[in-house]
Amino acid sequence: MNFTYPKKERLKSKTTIGLLFSEGKSVSKYPLRLVFRQAEENSEEKIKIGVSVSKKYFKKAVDRNYFKRVLRETYRLNKHLLWDNAEGNYSLMFFYQSKDRLTFEEINTKTIQLFEKFLQQVNKTPDSENKSES
């Protein structure tokens, strides 16, 4: 697994982002939030991800840009969790939603926990349906 974040993995389509907010589901692990939606099967990448930091909490662009860089870096280092375990194609939006200024290590730990929570929600098999069929 290469630890890169190439342009083709970046979520830039306004229509896809709009659909994410209108039809997407979300998981969160304070102070991070991940909004996701199943992507079309014909998309060229398994996962496309965008990053956002609220202007409400960080008024200065310098601060927002710092946290966006940190979020992209934590995704880059931990994307193997998503690529190896997610079934299907997904569009993701990754948010930092707090005034608290966490360190890189704390954000990285929360990112891993968030990705694990996402994978549990996406890959869960309805046990009740399986038991009723047998």
CB-side exposure of 20: number of CA atoms within 13 Å?
23
> Distance between the two ends of the chain, CA-based, in angstroms?
39
3-state secondary structure of 5: coil
55 in a structural domain: yes
For residue 1, tell me if it sits in a domain: no
The answer to whether position 129 is within a domain reads no
Question: Into how many domains does the chain fold?
Answer: 1
Q: What is the CATH number of the domain that holds 54?
A: 3.30.230.10
In this prediction, what percent of the chain has a pLDDT beyond 70?
Answer: 91
Residue 115 covered by a domain: yes
Domain for residue 14, yes or no?
A: yes
Give a yes or no: residue 98 inside a domain: yes
- DSSP-assigned beta bridge partners for residue 99: none
Q: What pLDDT does residue 60 have? A: 96
- Does any domain span residue 132? no
Predicted local confidence at residue 113, as pLDDT: 96
Considering the chain, what percentage of its residues have pLDDT values greater than 90?
69
| Domain of 80, in residue numbers | 7-123
The answer on pLDDT for 17 being more than 80 is yes
Q: Is residue 63 part of a domain?
A: yes
pLDDT tens for 20-43 read: 999 999 999 999 999 999 987 777
- pTM for the full predicted model: 0.86
Q: What per-residue confidence (pLDDT) applies to 45? A: 82
> Average pLDDT in the 58-75 region?
96
Q: Which residues contact 21 (CB under 8 A, 6 or more apart)?
A: 35, 93
Average pLDDT over the chain reads: 88
